[in-house]
Amino acid sequence: MGIEERIPHVKHVEGIDMFSVEGLSTTYKYVQLYIENVPFIRMGHYDCSKHFLILMSFFKECNENGLQICTEEEMQGFVRGYSMFPKILPPLETDKYRVRGMGYLRISNSQKGICLNGESTDFGIGLDQKHLEDIKPYFHAEYEVRSLH
């Protein structure tokens, strides 16, 4: 079974269906990345998620589905590094994954729109336009996905 059958392309880290509440507009943080040139995007609540935690959640999800992105020991090291001052962050690119963008995403269910913008202050990266084009087909078809850049 390939990577695309094991892991969904678009997902909220807590498994919430972001498109289920009629008329709701909500802001999330997002992380854009590739594994084996396959695009993925993960989102977490704007108020309580950090891009770092979204990334760690994705690593754990991959490991649980048979894709060893990093070991448990490496993940614990990333968590320790993140709590240091100055922060020590996981690399944005390895031979197993490539993080391409981070920022903010707003979903308007009443207007059927998804808008991405902003950047991660910890990681210093924002929206990756090529990744956005690659991931668009995996969002709900009736939603218009665009950037504010």
Give residue 114's identity as a one-letter amino acid code.
Answer: I
Whole-number pLDDT of residue 1: 66
Provide DSSP, 22-75: TT-EEEEEEEEEEETTEEEEEEEETTT--HHHHHHHHHHHHHHTT--SS-HHHH
Identify the structural domains of the chain with CATH numbers, from first to last: 3-147 (3.50.20.20)
CB–CB of 19/113 below 8 Å? no
Residue given tokens 């507009």 in the structure block: 25
Q: Against a cut of 0.75, is the pTM above it?
A: yes
Please give the chain's pLDDT, 149 residues, in tens.
677 778 888 887 676 666 665 556 688 899 999 998 999 999 988 877 799 999 999 999 999 999 989 888 999 999 899 888 888 899 999 999 999 999 999 888 778 888 999 999 999 999 999 999 999 998 877 788 888 76
